[in-house]
Amino acid sequence: MAVLQMQKISIYALKKDRKKLLEFLQRRGVVEINNLLPEDAVFKRNDVSEAMQNIEKNISLAKDAIDILDSYVPDKKPSLIALKGKKVVTEEGYASFREKYKPTVNEVKRVISLHKEIAESKAEILKHQTQIDILKPWVTFDIPLNFDGTKQTKCFIGSLPNEWNLEALYKCLAEGTPVEIDIVSSSKEQTCIFALCPIENADKVYDILREMNFSYPSISMDTAPSEQLNRINSQLSELEQTISDAEKEIKSYADHLDDFLFLQDYDTMRAEKYNVICQLLQSEHAFILTGYIPERDVKRLETDISARFDVCVETTEVSEEDDAPVLLQNNGFASPMEGVVASFSPPGKGEVDPTMVMAVFYYVLFGLMLSDAGYGFLMVAVCGFGLIKYRKTIEEGMKKTLRMYLFCGLSTAFWGIMFGSYFGDIVDVVSSKFFGTKLSIPPVWFVPVNEPMRMLTFSMLLGIIHLFAGLGMKAYQLYKQKDYKGIIFDVFFWYALLTSLVILLLSMEMVTGILGISLTIPAVVLRIAKYLALLSAAGIILTSGRESRNPFKRVLKGVYALYGVSGYLGDVLSYSRLLALGLATGVICTVINQMASMVNSVIIFTVVVIIGHLLNFGINALGAYVHACRLQYVEFFGKFYEGGGRLFHPFNENTKYYNIKEKM
């Protein structure tokens, strides 16, 4: 477990080499650029906001075009990138793409334009279909719907709600008023009518129609409905042909998908490069680049960069005032836990890397909370397959994730064997139901469901070990900081107090009775424990506030610190979740198996077992992950670790689909 030593780096180079130098640094990915130097009369920062906007626009266009192609040719887009890895592109391939950058951008825009054309055509089709629905009741009507009458007559063309007949219409409209009525179509929902009357009676007729909830057609046209329907159907055919042609043209770009993917990655790299350019101090002919680099990479980078460019590279040690980033380095067993540490906070200044010690306890606690050999072997099989099958291509982040769950699976399988749980009691159920004989695999240790207090005792013991390991990490951290007094005052006294209190508690029949254990502690040990508890408590009271010069405040701070012993009790009790989650997994497994055994069909039995155990595995694996993190963050880290560091974010290729292979 180690926090890599950082150095400050300054690169002074000619402006003509800026583009190639930045691309070189981006491919190496070992320098975090952080230009904090102030501007002066010669060196100033450039405004590249306009270029950034254009690049970000092209990235957005490329993403949209890729999604459009994926919707029309779904099997063309690469899948499982994290497992299969990114495609490797040589420097020659990279240069070749740059030559066709503009044509590719135009192709992307064309795909988006075609997709927009399809969307507009579909919207127009919906509009025409609505018009068709409106015109269908008028298909036999040979007069334009906007016809208003003649000089001597007034015409009313429209619809009435519900179904009407001529007799009812004339009864309402023709009383003392000359009017000619024709029913164009009729249904339960509406009746379409044509009414004609002398122009001098128009107002009276309209008033009657309005009382009958008369409404004009929602569309107005100067041709007969049948002619308009023919025109709309012709337009629909044209629109459908437009959509078909556009879809064919979009599909024809399927062979250009690799260019679209590379365009997205290429402009993503350009955006990051321009983000760096806006930080650089530049004169007319030169520029200055500053940042941080891991000490292990300094010599190689300096050698390679000097061989390629006319530059001056300067490195210096990081001072206490510098906000240096943090980069962790661990072996294959602990490195998967670096992400868990980073999720809390990277180590702050003067803190040690807790990853290795945390990894041991994390794997143990995760397995103890899931504790089923079947689930453990399933995790090992899936993660092992992924690591072996895609070992040459898998992305580093996914590799660490699979490795983490591989170790968690091994721990789960171990505790499952210790407790005799193999998908619960599936062996018993299958053997008794289908083979008429009861077989079982006995536990190597004990069955937690049958002996919950024993499991609780073990959980609390493991919790005490975990907490003591946290105190041990604090001692190691104080040793690295050369605070030797702190090791005695802040660690040794607490070790002595907690150990003596545990011995005194175990001497009480009430405690041993609750825990279900029988223990006899010699009187001399109890006497030593009492004196040790008193002495260590006094030591905590007298030294915890040692930074204060006021004796009264010092004692008060010491008393308050001693009160923290109650926090240790709460921390130990917190490990009872190991019992709760372990029992939950086993009990639910048993319930699923019993439910499956109630059916006589082998197929249904298998389906119930598979679905039930998959759900149980998913829920309890998530619970084990969350609670294992919680025990690290709150109980373990609470004893020595504060974090507050800043992760190392090098200037590199944050691409999604391609990696550029550099000639070495």
Residue 509: band (very low, low, confident or very high) from pLDDT cuts 50, 70, 90: confident
- The fold adopted by the segment(s) 146-216 is Alpha-Beta Plaits (3.30.70)
What mean pLDDT, rounded, does the chain reach? 91
From its phi and psi, is residue 541 left (phi > 0), alpha (psi between -120 and 50) or beta? alpha
From its phi and psi, is residue 80 left (phi > 0), alpha (psi between -120 and 50) or beta? left
Q: What is the mean pLDDT of residues 333-348?
A: 95
Quick one: which of 390, 451, 481 has its CA closest to 80? Answer: 390
pLDDT (tens digit per residue) in 66-83? 999 999 887 666 666 667
pLDDT at residue 246, as a whole number: 95
Quick one: which of 192, 180, 172, 188 has its CA closest to 153? Answer: 180
Q: What is the mean pLDDT of residues 3-15?
A: 94
pLDDT at residue 22, as a whole number: 94
pLDDT at residue 75, as a whole number: 67
pLDDT (tens digit per residue) in 344-359? 999 998 899 999 999 9
Residue 628: band (very low, low, confident or very high) from pLDDT cuts 50, 70, 90: very high
**What secondary structure does DSSP assign to 241-254, as a single string?**
HHHHHHHHHHHHGG
User: Which residue has tokens 């019993």?
Assistant: 594
Which residue type does 526 have? L
pLDDT greater than 90 at residue 296: yes
pLDDT greater than 90 at residue 339: yes
Provide Rg for the chain, Cα atoms.
39
Listed range (445-449, 508-512, 557-561) with the worst mean pLDDT:
508-512
pLDDT greater than 80 at residue 175: no
Burial class (CB in 10 A: 0-12, 13-18, 19+), 510: exposed
At 590 the three-state DSSP class reads helix
Angle formed by the axes of helices 257-277 and 49-72, to 10°?
A: 160
Phi, psi for residue 345 in degrees, rounded to 5: 170, 135
pLDDT at residue 82, as a whole number: 64
pLDDT at residue 660, as a whole number: 78
33 neighbors 291 (Cβ within 8 angstroms): yes
Q: What is the mean pLDDT of residues 507-533?
A: 86
Angle formed by the axes of helices 426-434 and 602-630, to 10°?
A: 170
pLDDT (tens digit per residue) in 125-167? 999 999 998 899 999 898 999 898 999 999 999 999 999 999 8
pLDDT at residue 663, as a whole number: 57
pLDDT at residue 664, as a whole number: 45
From its phi and psi, is residue 85 left (phi > 0), alpha (psi between -120 and 50) or beta? left
To the nearest whole percent, how much of the chain has pLDDT over 70? Answer: 98
Q: What is the pTM of this model?
A: 0.84
pLDDT at residue 395, as a whole number: 86
